[in-house]
Amino acid sequence: MSTTAPVRLPEHLIHPFAPAGRADPHPAYRWLRANDPVHYDAASRLWLVTGHGDCATVLRDPRFSAAQGQRERARDDALPPSMLTTDPPDHHRLRAPGALLLGPAAVRSVAARLAADVDALVDGLPAGGRVDAVADLGRPLATAVYARLFGLPAEQSRRFEALARAASVNLDPMVPPARAALGRSAATALTHFLDGHARTVADTEVPLAALAADDRLSRAEMLGVLSLAVIGGWQPLAEFIGNALHLLLPDRAAVAALGRADEDAARLAVDELLRLEAPIPFTARVTTDRVELDGGVLPAGARVLAVLTAANRDPAVFADPDALHLDRSPNPHLGFGGGPHFCLAAPLVRQTAALLLPRLVRRFPALRGPAGAPDWDQCLVPRRLRALPIELGGAA
C-alpha cells in the first residue's frame, strides 16, 4: 500500500459496508468512482475498484487471481474445487463440463418446460390479491428452474429449496461467524443431497445427468461444480426478480413497454434491470503482481473488490447511468462479471427472467409495488430485498 494517507469518505456519506449504508450504497460508490476510483478501505483492508474500465481489467487480467480472492474471503472453509475457486488452466478444465449443466445448449434443452413452469406460476397468482415478489415469485421461479436442470421430482423440490437458501449464506463475505458456521453446515448438507440425487437421477435427458456422466471430472470436482451452480445461482436468480420489480413498477411507461416486448426486447430489459441492481454487487481478487490501473496503482498481494454495482453506473460508459432505460443498447454491464469467470448461468438468468417479467405484466397490467422506502436486507451478497409486497390488480 502507498505510504500516503488513505483517502476517506466525506462525513456526510455512509460507508457502503456499514449497516446503515447497505440500503443505498450508490452515493458512496459514486463519490469513490469520481474521487478515488482505486480506493484502499482501511476498515476492511480491501482495495475497492469502482470504475467500469478498471473493473473490467480486474476481471480479465491474469494478474488478478480469483482463486486467491476466494481463499481470502473463505474464513476457515475448505473450498471445494470449482470454477470460482480456481484460476486458468484448472478453471477452463472445470468450466467446460460445467457448461453441460448451465450452458446455452443445456438451457435450450429445458426451455419449453421452463416456459410451462412460468405460465403455471403466473396462472396460480390470485387476481386482485397481494403477493410477495421475493417469496411468491423469485424463489418458486428459481426452484422450478433448478428442478428442470436437475430432474428433481416434485417431492424433493421443497427440501432442495430449503438447503439452497440456507447454503446461500456463504455468498456473503461479512456474515457474522455464527451464521457463517450454519452456512457451512448447510453447504455440506446440500452437497450430500446433490451427491445422492446425481447418483440416482431418473431422467437421463436432464442437464445434470450429462454433467454427472462426464469423465473429465472427479466426483469431488463434479460436486464442487454442482454446489457452486446452486450456491452461486439459485439465490441470485431468486432475488433478482424482487430487485427487478422494485425498479420496474414505479415506472408505468416501462411496465407498459415490457408488456409489449418481444423476446429480444425482454432480454434487453433484463440486462438493464440487472445493470441497476445486480444481486452480486462485487467480486474478489488478489493481485499476483503490481498493477497500474487508470484509476490508481495496486501493489502485489492486494486484496481487491471489483465493485460491479459501481462500475454499472459509470457515466463514462452509460448515459443517464442512474436511470432505467429498458431498451438500452449496447449495455456492457458487468452484472454477470467478465473475463474467464463470466457467469456460466447468464443465459439461464436472461431466459427465465425474460419469460417471467413480460408474462407477469401482461397478465396483471395494473400491478403496483409498495409505497415508501424499499426494505433492503442487511446482507452484502446477494443484494436483495427482504420482501416486496405487490398488489396484482385485475387479470387481463
Q: What is the pLDDT of residues 3-32, one digit of tens each?
A: 456 789 999 999 999 999 999 999 999 999
Is residue 243 within 8 A of residue 383, CB to CB? The reply is: yes
Residue 2 confidence class, pLDDT cut points 50, 70, 90? very low
**pLDDT of amino acid 344:** 86
**Residue 353, amino acid:** A
Range 220-229 burial, b when 16+ CB lie within 10 A, else e: ebbbbbbbbb
74 pLDDT band, cuts 50/70/90, is: very low
CA dist 186 and 189 (Å) reads 5
pLDDT at 297 over 70: yes
Secondary structure tally for the chain: helices H, strands E: 15, 9
Tens digit of pLDDT for each residue in 141-160? 999 999 999 999 999 999 99
Question: Which of 114-128, 164-178, 191-205 is predicted least confidently?
Answer: 164-178
Residue with cell 475497492: 48
pTM across the whole model: 0.92
**Is residue 292 over pLDDT 70?**
yes
pLDDT at 139: 96
Q: Using the structure block, give the residue that is written with the C-alpha cell 486467491.
A: 68
Q: How far apart are CA 81 and CA 380, in angstroms?
A: 24
Residue 72 has pLDDT above 70, yes or no: no
**Average model confidence (pLDDT) across the chain:** 91
Query: For the segment 335-393, what is each residue's pLDDT rounded down to a tens digit?
Result: 999 988 888 889 899 999 999 999 999 999 999 999 988 999 988 999 999 999 999 99
Distances 181 to 74, 175, 223, 381 between C-alpha atoms, Å: 11, 10, 20, 16
> For residues 349 and 230, is the Cβ–Cβ distance under 8 A?
no
CB < 8 Å & 24+ apart, contacts of 88-96:
88/62, 88/340, 91/66, 91/340, 91/341, 92/340, 93/216, 94/217, 94/221, 94/224, 94/225, 95/340, 95/344, 96/216
